[in-house]
Every structure is written in structure tokens, then in C-alpha cells.
Amino acid sequence: MNVKNFLVSGIVGGVINFFLGWILYGIIFKDAFPSNGNENMLFIFLGCLTFGLFTAYIFTKWAGISNWITGFGAGAIIGLFMALYMDFFANAMKPTADINFQIMALDIVITIIMSAFTGAVIALVNGKL
């Protein structure tokens, strides 16, 4: 594995993921996902950075993805499974009547979109390095 490709593409992917989250969750869909005023932006950024590094690791170590189109598709699939994982566990202790399935579905779609573009950027950076 090329460590430089992993680190650079992972950091760039994490930054892209962070800004996409800000645009999608913080601006476009802010009414569906209202702020409680207690968000820890450092932890949100570190979570995005971790996702970028996780995706870059898969792309550079296991899959050899360096084409943005392939990265877009692989990122979307990773995002689908990550969103399902997170939303199922986030709602696991709620009574079914309290679960907002529309918000859950919207979150899954947003995560797929963010992950697809993050994957595309990571693959693009991998291809350029």
C-alpha cells in the first residue's frame, strides 16, 4: 500500500465529507435535521476524517480504486451500508411508533450521496498521485 496516497486521499476525502455534511445537513436539510446547539464540530470533523481515511484505506490497500467513476460507485455502496448500520442502531431502543422512517430514509440517501462524492474524490486523488 502506498502510504502517501492513503494519507493524502483520505485527508482530502475527509475534508470533502465534512463540507458536504455541512451543506446537506446544515443548510439544505436543516429543517429535517435541526441543530440542538450542542454539536462538537471537532468530533464531527474527526468523524468525517475517519470516514475519509477508512474509504481511502479500502481503495488503496484492497481495491486499487483510482478512477473517479469507480470511486463514486464504491463510495455509494459503502455509504449505503454505513447509513443502514448507523440508522438501525440509532433507532434500536426506540418503540417502532416513535421512529420517523421518512427521516431515516432521508438520512440514508444523504449518506449515500456524501459517500459517493467522497469516494469519487478519494479515487481521483489516488489516480493523480
What tens digit of pLDDT does each residue of 21-74 get? 999 999 999 999 999 889 999 999 999 999 999 999 999 999 999 999 999 999
Q: What is the DSSP letter of 37?
A: S
pTM over 0.85: yes
CA 117 to chain centre: 9
Ordered by start, the domain boundaries in the chain are 3-128
Question: What span, in angstroms and rounded, lies between the C-alpha atoms of 66 and 87?
Answer: 30
Average pLDDT for 70-87: 98
- Closest listed residue to residue 117, CA positions, set 24, 44, 46, 13: 13
Give mean pLDDT, residues 15-26: 97
Which residues contact residue 76 at a Cβ distance below 8 angstroms, ignoring those fewer than 6 apart? 112, 113, 115, 116, 119
Model confidence at 16: pLDDT above 90: yes
The count of other CB atoms within 10 Å of the CB of residue 127 is: 15
